């Protein structure tokens, strides 16, 4: 997964005169969440995007989210984070999107030692903190493959979601749209991919987002989803959430 070299402009504060000593993290702040109280939310859905960041599709997904004024959550692969791609991470965070962990190497972690599991998580947590100043709350296991060792060694809340096989090129934008709409329900997490070149998901989003809005959904981050549903998240339970009110491992 190589990144192209085109630059995405970032909104960093202008420097004045002598060399400012600011880290990237200090220049990035997140937009506020939608409502102050859970009761103020209507029907909610969390759109989530895996396998970025990159300098192409991640930006195109952000363009669509921005166009409709909605937020999503990006689950990053640590090895995809570099100087160029991190500009889109900053942009996402500034738009009020949430940034989450999708491992360092995108390997099957249910076959790993505790030490390797911790290294996968720590690498990406630290990269994210370098960019936005805070560590993530959520983790999506690569291939949604989990074991007890992972639950025991990862201090993040595990997220799965309703997917439409949008990592398969043969699944058209229309099919991605139809499958997603079929699975849409209040409190659901929708699993999509902003992997490089996945333009069919960008096209599908152009249909999915207006339809969900039309149906009265608010499109929120994962943190907001749980907040809106009054669900206290924990890192101690063995749940891989596909919807906020889930109480068993796979729902
Ligand atoms: Zn993935």
Report in angstroms the alpha-carbon separations of 230 from 48, 154, 180, 225, 238: 20, 23, 24, 9, 19
Give the tens place of pLDDT for each residue, 201-240: 999 999 999 999 999 999 999 999 999 999 999 888 999 9
Closest by CA to 193, choosing from 58, 46, 8, is: 58
Band (pLDDT 50/70/90 cuts) for residue 33 is: confident
Whether pLDDT at 15 is above 50: no
The domains of the chain, with CATH numbers, are 37-241 (3.20.20.370)
Band (pLDDT 50/70/90 cuts) for residue 150 is: very high
Residue 76: beta bridge partners? 52, 101
Mean residue pLDDT of the chain comes to: 91
- For residue 102, report the distance from its CA to the centre of ligand 1, in Å: 7
Is 113 buried (19+), middle (13-18) or exposed (0-12) by CB count in 10 A?
exposed
Q: Given the residues 51, 102, 166, 193, select the one marked as catalytic.
A: 193
For β-strands 162-163 and 217-220, DSSP reports them as unpaired
- For residue 143, report the distance from its CA to the centre of ligand 1, in Å: 6
Helical axes 114-132 vs 85-94, angle rounded to 10°: 70
Whether pLDDT at 171 is above 50: yes
User: Is 193 annotated as catalytic?
Assistant: yes
Closest by CA to 108, choosing from 99, 120, 125, is: 120
Q: Compute, in degrees rounded to 10, the torsion defined by CA atoms 57, 59, 60, 62.
A: 130
- For residue 51, report the distance from its CA to the centre of ligand 1, in Å: 5
Band (pLDDT 50/70/90 cuts) for residue 11 is: very low
- For residue 192, report the distance from its CA to the centre of ligand 1, in Å: 9
Query: How confident is the model at residue 26, as a pLDDT?
Result: 53
Whether pLDDT at 158 is above 50: yes
Task: Tell me the C-alpha distance between 76 and 97, whole Å.
Answer: 13
Q: Compute, in degrees rounded to 10, the torsion defined by CA atoms 216, 222, 173, 183.
A: -60
Closest by CA to 242, choosing from 186, 121, 160, is: 160
Query: How confident is the model at residue 133, as a pLDDT?
Result: 97
- For residue 142, report the distance from its CA to the centre of ligand 1, in Å: 5
Whether pLDDT at 191 is above 90: yes
Whether pLDDT at 20 is above 60: no
Query: How confident is the model at residue 48, as a pLDDT?
Result: 98
Q: Reduce the secondary structure of 147-211 to three states and give it as a string.
A: CHHHHHHCCCEEECCEECCCCCCCCCHHHHHHHHHHHCCCCEEEEEECCCCCHHHHHHHHHHHHH
Q: Given the residues 50, 51, 166, 194, select the one marked as catalytic.
A: 50
pTM for the structure as a whole = 0.89
- For residue 68, report the distance from its CA to the centre of ligand 1, in Å: 25
User: Is 63 annotated as catalytic?
Assistant: no
Give the tens place of pLDDT for each residue, 55-96: 999 999 999 999 999 999 999 999 999 999 999 999 999 999
């Amino acid at each position: 997964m190589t990144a192209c070299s085109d630059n995405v402009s970032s909104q960093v504060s202008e420097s004045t005169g002598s060399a400012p000593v600011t880290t990237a993290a200090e220049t990035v702040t997140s937009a506020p969440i939608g409502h102050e109280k859970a009761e103020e939310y209507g029907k909610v859905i969390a759109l989530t995007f895996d396998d970025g960041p990159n300098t192409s599709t991640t930006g195109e997904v952000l363009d669509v989210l921005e166009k409709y004024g909605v937020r999503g959550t990006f689950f990053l692969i640590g090895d995809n984070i570099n100087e160029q791609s991190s500009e889109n991470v900053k942009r996402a965070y500034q738009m009020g999107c949430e940034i989450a962990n999708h491992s360092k190497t995108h390997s099957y972690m249910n076959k790993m030692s505790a030490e390797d599991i911790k290294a996968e998580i720590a690498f990406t947590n630290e990269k994210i903190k370098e960019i936005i100043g805070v560590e993530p709350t959520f983790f999506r296991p690569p291939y949604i493959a989990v074991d007890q060792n992972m639950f025991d060694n990862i201090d993040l809340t595990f997220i799965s979601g309703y997917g439409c096989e949008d990592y398969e090129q043969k699944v058209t934008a229309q099919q991605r749209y139809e499958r997603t709409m079929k699975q849409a329900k209040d409190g659901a997490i929708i699993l999509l991919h902003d992997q490089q070149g996945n333009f069919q998901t960008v096209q599908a989003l152009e249909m999915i987002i207006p339809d969900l809005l039309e149906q009265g959904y608010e499109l929120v981050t994962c943190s907001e989803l749980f907040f809106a549903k009054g669900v206290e998240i924990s890192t101690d339970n063995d749940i891989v959430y596909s919807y906020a009110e889930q109480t068993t491992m796979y729902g």
